[in-house]
A and B are shown apart, each in its own frame.
Chain A
Amino acid sequence: MIHSLFLINHSGDIFLEKHWKSVVSRSVCDYFFEARENAGSPENVPPVLQTPHHYLISIYRDRLFFLSAVQTEVPPLFVIEFLHRVAEMFQDYFGECSEVVIKDNVVIVYELLEEMLDNGFPLATESNVLKEMIRPPTILRSVVNTLTGGSYIGETLPMGQLSTIPWRRSGVKYTNNEAYFDVIEEIDAILDKSGTTVFAEIQGVIEACIKLSGMPDLTLSFMNPRLLDDVSFHPCVRFKRWESERVLSFIPPDGNFTLMTYHVSTQNLVAIPVYVKQSIGFFESGSCGRLDLTVGPKQTMGKTVEGMMITIHMPTAVLSANLTATQGSHTYNPITKVLVWDVGKLNPQKLPNLRGSLSLQSGAPKPEENPSLNINLKIQQLAISGIKVNRLDMYGEKYKPFKGVKYVTKAGRFQVRT
C-alpha cells in the first residue's frame, strides 16, 4: 500500500515527508525530478513513474506536487484518489492548500496524515471523523489553547468510525436548522471555428450544506430525474431507492459535503449559452496580425450571462497586442503569451467586441497554429441541463428546517477553436 508521501513545492524542494512503513530515502524523488525536467511544464509530469525499487505516483495541485512512493502492486487510482483527499483535507482544515500554510501547521498536518493512513491503509478520511479527533485550528482556539494549555486533539473516541453511518457525528445540535443545496453545472464543450458544437457535455454537482440537529433522514426528489446519465453519490445516499424510485434518500453528514455528481452527456442536446464570432489572422508579410472577437448570448433561457472572460494562448511569435474593447478590460502577457479579455456581464442589446492588431517578432514566420479560445462564464439561477429539485422532505426529527436550493451554471472546459 502507500509507503511514503513527499510534498514538493514549485521550485522542487521537498518540504515535508511522511513514511507509514520503513523510511524511504528522499533520494527516490530524484527520478521524479528528472521526469519533471523532461516534462517541461509541471502539468505534464506523468502521474505514474517506475524506479528500480518503487513506483512514484503523484498529483499536481495548487502548485504543489503530492508524491507517494509505493512498493507493491497497488491500484494507482486508489493512491491518486487518496492524494487528492489529503489535499482536500488541508484545504478544509486550513482554508487553503499551500506550502506556507502546511509549514505553519506542520504538527497538525503530521497528526492528520497519521490518522488518515495506517500501514498504508486508509484509516479515516471523512472530514467529520477527523475533525472530531483533531480539531482544526481557529484563531479563537489557538488563543484559548495558549492561555489554558488545551489541545487540538479530541479526547473522545470518534464514535462515527464504528457506527453504520460513519460520516455523521452524533449529538449534533443547532439552534437554527437549515439545509441548503447548490446545484452547480459546468459545461464542457468544444466549438469549431464556425460555431458548431463538436462536443458538449454537462458535469453537474450538488453541494450540500446541512446544519440539522439529531439524526435527520432526508429525501430529495427531482422534477426530471431521467435527464441524468450517470450519477455518483456520497456514500450516505441509499442506492436502492435511487434505482427504484429515482429519489435521493440519505442521512446527511454534518456540514458541507458533495451529495452527488452527475453527468449529462453528448447524447442529449446541450444548450450552449453564448456564441463567439472570431477572426484571428496573421499576414504573410509585415510581422503582424489581426484580431476581431464578438461575443453574444445564445441559449440562456432568459437569464443574464455574467463573469464572461475569454483567454487565448497566442502563438509564441506574438510580441504585443494593440486592441480596443467596447466593454470590459483586456491584458496581454508577453511572457506567457496569454491574452485575457474580461468582458463581465453580457448585454444582448450591445454586443461586446474586441478588435485590433497583433504584432509579431520581426522576421518570424507566419505562425502555423491556430490559438484556441478558452471561455469562462457564469449564469445565476439556471441549471443549463434543465434539472430541477422538486421537494425535500425530512423524517426522523420533529423540528421544521429551513430549506433552500440555488442553481448556477458555469463554463468548465469550454473551448472555441479558430
Chain B
Amino acid sequence: MTDSKYFTTTKKGEIFELKAELNSDKKEKKKEAVKKVIASMTVGKDVSALFPDVVNCMQTDNLELKKLVYLYLMNYAKSQPDMAIMAVNTFVKDCEDPNPLIRALAVRTMGCIRVDKITEYLCEPLRKCLKDEDPYVRKTAAVCVAKLHDINAQLVEDQGFLDTLKDLISDSNPMVVANAVAALSEIAESHPNSNLLDLNPQSINKLLTALNECTEWGQIFILDCLANYTPRDDRESQSICERVTPRLSHANSAVVLSAVKVLMKFMEMLPKDLDYYGTLLKKLAPPLVTLLSAEPELQYVALRNINLIVQKRPEILKHEMKVFFVKYNDPIYVKLEKLDIMIRLASQANIAQVLAELKEYATEVDVDFVRKAVRAIGRCAIKVEQSAERCVSTLLDLIQTKVNYVVQEAIVVIKDIFRKYPNKYESVIATLCENLDSLDEPEARAAMIWIVGEYAERIDNADELLESFLEGFHDESTQVQLQLLTAIVKLFLKKPTETQELVQQVLSLATQDSDNPDLRDRGYIYWRLLSTDPVAAKEVVLAEKPLISEETDLIEPTLLEELICHIGTLASVYHKPPSAFVEGSRGVQHKRLPVRTGSGESAESPDTSSAAGISEAPPAVIPSQGDLLGDLLNLDLTPPTTTGPLPPASGLQMGAMDLLGGGLDSLLGGDMGGSPALGAGFGAPPAVAPASLSAPVGGGLGDLFDLGGGVGLPMGFYIPPKTVWLPAMKAKGLEISGTFGRRAGVIQMEMTLTNKAMSVMTDFAIQFNRNSFGLAPAGPLQVLTPLNPNQTIEVSLPLNTVGPVMKMEPLNNLQVAVKNNIDVFYFSCQYPINMLFVEDGKMERQVFLATWKDIPNENESQFQIKDCHLNSDAASNKLQGSNVFTIAKRTVDSQDMLYQSMKLTNGIWVLAEMRVQAGNPNYTISLKCRAPEVSQCVFQCYEAVLKN
C-alpha cells in the first residue's frame, strides 16, 4: 500500500469525507486522513477548509501525527490566522516538554508560522530555548531568530534576541556556532551596516575551532563569514590560511569553493617571496581540478569561478590546460565555459595543443559551439603572438571545408587578426575573396568589406568586389552599409582615378536615399572631407589604427577584485557585482581584496585596512572631451561596432555652405538646397566640442576669491553619491537611484534608471509633489529610447524653483511620482540643501555684521562637526564650491573664525560662524537665520560637504 492512493480521490465530496475521517475516534483513521490532507496539499490542492479539524489532531503524543499536523499548520496558518491561534497553547506547552526533540520541533514550527499574532507568543518560548541546556534545541532556536527577523525585524531587536544570538557564537557546541553564524549572516544581509558579525581575532579563533567540528553546511556558513574578515597583518592571514586549507579536501564542493574564496582573499596579504605563498598556490590547483569531475551543474559554477581565478592568478592552473578539454557530451553551457578558460590559459608553451583541440571542436555538431571555437582560434592568434601564423593557417584550413557558418566566423576573426598584425598576412586575402558569395551574415559581410577596403591597393579587382555589394545596398543591414561606405571611401583615396563614379554613387546612396541618421551623417562627413581637403581626408580615413589586444575581453581589474571576494556566490556566476542584480541592493557593500600589510607596521594597519574594506560607489563619470572626440574618430577606425549616434553637430552654421568646394557642388548637382542638415566641416567639431561638453562646473567661481589665506582653486560643487530612491522590487522592476547637483546655476536631478524587469519600459514622465522650496522639473524627463531589460540609463533633469510651495517635514523632503508604460510609482527623497544656495550668496562685510546683530539670538543654533581634518582654508575652499562664501576670517588664539554667508533660492539668507582650532578635528558652527527651520538642513550640508 503506498501513498499514491492519496492522489486518486478527486471526487466532489472529498473534503466532507476527509472531515469525517479527521474527527474519527480511531487514531489510525485520523492519521490516514491527515496523510491524505498533506498529500493533497503537496500537489497544490486547497485543503484549507479543513483547518479546525486538522488542528484538533495536534494534541497527541504520537510524534508522527504531530509532525504531520505541524506541516499542515505551516502551510495554511497564513490564510487562517484566527484559527492558528488555537494552536498556540499546544506550542507553548510543547516548548516545555522534557523531550528536547519535541521542544526543538515546537520552536522550529512556531517560527515557520508567519502570523503576527502567533509571533507575539513565540518570544518567551524562544528566549528559553536559546538558553536551553540541550544544544539541539539551542541550534534550532538560533535559526528561529532568523525566521522571526524575517517576519518582524523590529520585534527581534526590541527583544534583544540579536545579542543572545551573538553570544551563541561563543557556544561550546560547534553546530550551535554554525547555526548562529548562519542566522546572523542572513539577518546582516538585510541590515548591511549593522555590524552584526563583529569579527575580532578572538571570535575568529572560535569560528576556526568550530569549523573543524561542525557539519559540511555549517562549514560553508563559517567560511563565508570568515571571508568578510580582514586580518590585521600577514601573520594572522597566514595562520587563518593554514587552518582553512584542510577544507580543500572536503567532499562537498561548496565547502571547497568557499575555502578557495577565503584563501584567494587572504593570500593577497601574504608577501610573494614567502615559502608558504608558493605552497598555498600549489595546494589550490588539485581541488579546483577535482571540481570539474563532478556533476555538470557543479562544473558550471566551478568553471565560472575558475574563469575569475585564472584571470587573477593564472599561475595556479597554468599546467592544467588538459582538464578543460571539451568532451562531446558535455552540456553546452559547460562547453562554452571550458572554451573560454582554455583561451585564458593559452600561452606559447601550450598553444599547439590548444589549437589542435580547437580545430577538433570546429567540426562538432553544435553550431553555437563551433562558432565559438572558430572565434577562439582568432583570440589565440591575438593573445599569443608566436602562434598567429599557425592560427591563420588553421583558419584557412577551416575555410577550405566550405561549411558556411565556419567560413563566415573565420572571416570575422581574420579581420581581427589583421587589426592586430597589420600587413602580415595579406597573402590569405585571395582565399577569402573566393568565399565572398557564400557570406550571408551581416557581421561576416561587414568584416569582408572592411578587409577589402583596408587592403584595396593590393586587391586588383577591389572596385568590382565592392561594386557587387553596392547593388543591394538598401537591403543590407546598417553595419554592412556603414562598412561599405567607409571601404569605398578608402578605395577612392587609394585609387582616385578609377573609382570616382563608385564613390559618388555610394555617397548619394548614403546621404540621399537612406533614412538612417548614422549612415547619413557619416556620408556627409566623408563628402565634406573629400570635397574640402583630400589630404586631410587621407589623414583621417587612412590613419593608422590602434592595435587591438586580448585585454578587451578581460574583466576590468577593480571589478575582478570585487568578484574574487564573492567567489562561490551568484555574483561570481554572473560576473557582476552583487549591487548590480541583488534586489534592494541599497545596502550591498562593495568588497575589496585586503591590502598587504606587514606585521611590523601593524600599529597603523587596522585603520588602513578597514578603510580599504569600505569603498564608495563611484561617482557618475562625465566623459572627458577626449573620449567623445575619440568616439567620433572611431567611426572610421573600429569597423562594425560603432552604431551609436553622432553627437549633434553643434558647430553647424548655415554659412558653412560657403566652404563647400567646387567638387562638392558638382557632386551635389542642383540639389544644394536639399541638404541643409549638412554637418560642419570636419575641422569644426574638435573646436566646438570642448564648449559644448561643459565639464563639471563649479570652477567658474574662482574670481570671488579675495581672502588672504586662500590657496589653490575652489573645489567643485559637492554632489553626494547616488543612493537608491526606488528599489526595483517596489516598482515592478524599475530601479531609480539618484542625487542632486548644481551646475552653472541650474539645479540638476541626476538619476540612473535601471530596468530590472523582463519587458521593455517606455513613456517615462516625472512629477513632484508640492515641496518646501517650490522645486519643479524645468522640462520633461528625457528618456528618448525605450529602456530594454537590464539596461541602465543616466538622466539629468534640470529643476527650477517656481513650483507650488508647501512646507514639508523634514524640510528638504521631496515626493516624486515617476510614470512609465507599466505603472506610476511614488518615492520620496531628500535633497541636500546646498543645491539651493545661489551663486550670488556673498554678503558685504558691513551688511553681514549688521544682519548678524539684527537676527535675534534665539534664532542662533550651534552644531559640532566631528573628525574633520581640513584646515580652515581648505574647508573654506570646499564650502565655496558649494556656494557657501567666506566673508571674513579672524584668528584668535590659534583658533580660526570664519564668517560665512549663503542665500537660498527663495531669498532666505543664512549666516554662519565657523570655529576651527588648529589640531582639533572638531569644528563648531553657529548658524543664524531669520527662518531657523533651515538651520538643521544647512548643518547637514556643511557636514556632507566638509567630509567629502
A interface residues, Cβ below 8 angstroms from B: 1, 14-23, 26, 39, 43-44, 46-48, 50-53, 55, 58-61, 71-78, 80-82, 84, 100, 103-108, 110-111, 114, 118-119, 121-122, 125-126, 142, 146, 149, 151-158, 161-162, 164, 166, 188, 190, 192, 198-199, 201, 203, 229-235, 239-240, 242-243, 258, 260-261, 263, 265-267, 313, 315, 368-370, 372, 374, 413, 415, 417
Contacts and interface: CB of A to CB of B under 8 A. Distances in A.
Interface in B697-734: 728-729, 733
B945 to A, nearest CB: 34
A22 B322 CA distance: 46
B267 to A, nearest CB: 19
Given A52-B733, A233-B251, A153 B293 contact: no
B1 interface: yes
Interface of B: 1-4, 6-7, 27-28, 31, 35, 38-39, 42-44, 62-65, 67-68, 71, 75, 78, 99-101, 108, 111-112, 114, 134-136, 140, 143-144, 146-147, 150, 173, 175, 179, 182-183, 186, 189, 213, 215-217, 220-221, 224, 246, 249-254, 256-258, 286-287, 289-290, 293, 295-298, 300-302, 319-320, 322-323, 325, 327-329, 331-333, 357, 360, 363-365, 401, 403, 568-571, 573-574, 578, 581-583, 728-729, 733, 756-758
A161 B174 CA distance: 11
B581 A267 contact: no
A161 B322 contact: no
Most chain A CB inside 10 Å of its own CB: which residue of B65, B332, B570:
B570
A175 B853 CA distance: 102
Contacts of A104: 2-4
Contacts of B71: 110-111, 114
Contacts of B357: 198
A45 to B, nearest CB: 8
Contact of A75 (B216, B257, B296): B257
User: Which label, helix, strand, loop or mixed, suits the secondary structure of the B interface?
Assistant: helix
21 contacts: A44-B332, A46-B333, A47-B301, A50-B574, A50-B581, A71-B583, A74-B569, A106-B39, A111-B67, A119-B146, A121-B182, A153-B67, A190-B325, A203-B293, A235-B250, A235-B251, A265-B323, A313-B328, A368-B403, A369-B363, A374-B329
Contact of B213 (A114, A164, A239, A240): A164
B251 A232 contact: yes
Nearest to B2: A104
Given A21-B150, A107-B38, A151 B62 contact: yes
B364 A369 contact: yes
A166 B257 contact: no
B136 A161 contact: yes
The 7 tightest CB contacts between A and B, nearest first, are A230-B286, A104-B2, A153-B64, A47-B297, A77-B254, A122-B217, A151-B64
Nearest to A157: B101
Given A44-B333, A80-B301, A372-B328, A106 B570 contact: no
A189 to B, nearest CB: 10
Contacts of A157: 99-101, 136
Given A72-B186, A153-B64, A230 B289 contact: yes
A17 B666 CA distance: 76
A239 B246 CA distance: 7
A336 to B, nearest CB: 13
Most chain A CB inside 10 Å of its own CB: which residue of B189, B331, B757:
B331
A106 B39 CA distance: 6
Nearest to A233: B249
Contacts of B302: 77
Contact of B301 (A19, A48, A106, A260): A48
Contacts of A122: 215, 217
Contact of A17 (B27, B44, B301, B325): B44
Given A119-B112, A157-B136, A369-B364, A232 B249 contact: yes
A80 to B, nearest CB: 5
A217 to B, nearest CB: 17
Contacts of A73: 189, 569-571, 578, 582
A149 B28 contact: yes
A22 B114 contact: yes
Contacts of B569: 73-76
Most chain B CB inside 10 Å of its own CB: which residue of A58, A60, A107, A161:
A107
Contacts of B295: 59, 61, 80, 84
Contacts of B571: 73
Nearest to A148: B28
A28 B507 CA distance: 52
Given A22-B78, A152-B64, A229-B286, 7 more contacts: A78-B217, A111-B71, A119-B112, A162-B175, A369-B365, A372-B328, A415-B329
Most chain B CB inside 10 Å of its own CB: which residue of A1, A156, A161, A232:
A232
A77 B253 contact: yes
A265 B189 contact: no
A17 B38 CA distance: 12
Contacts of B186: 1, 72
Most chain A CB inside 10 Å of its own CB: which residue of B220, B224, B328, B574:
B328
A197 B17 CA distance: 68
A71 B44 CA distance: 21
Contacts of B573: 48, 76
A18 B42 contact: yes
B254 A75 contact: yes
Most chain B CB inside 10 Å of its own CB: which residue of A44, A166, A243, A260:
A44
Contact of A417 (B135, B360, B403, B583): B360
Contacts of B182: 1, 121
A313 B366 CA distance: 13
A162 B323 CA distance: 41
A396 to B, nearest CB: 19
Contacts of A265: 286, 289, 320, 323
B17 to A, nearest CB: 18
Contacts of A100: 4
A53 B325 contact: no
B191 to A, nearest CB: 13
B583 A53 contact: yes
Contacts of A156: 101
A155 B62 CA distance: 9
Contacts of A192: 360
A408 B217 CA distance: 32
Nearest to B406: A368
Contacts of A158: 101
Contacts of B757: 52
B773 to A, nearest CB: 36
Contacts of B114: 22
A363 to B, nearest CB: 18
A266 B757 CA distance: 46
B331 A75 contact: no
A72 B10 CA distance: 38
A66 B263 CA distance: 31
B319 A267 contact: yes
Contacts of A266: 320, 322-323
Contacts of B582: 72-73
Contact of B297 (A18, A58, A121): A58
A77 B27 contact: no
Contacts of A14: 44
Given A121-B179, A230-B287, A232-B256, A76 B325 contact: no
Given A47-B300, A118-B140, A188 B293 contact: yes
Contacts of A315: 365
A369 B332 CA distance: 17
Most chain B CB inside 10 Å of its own CB: which residue of A15, A114, A233, A242:
A114
A234 to B, nearest CB: 6
A239 B249 contact: yes
Contact of B3 (A106, A118, A151, A155): A106
A403 to B, nearest CB: 23
Nearest to A200: B322
Contacts of A82: 217
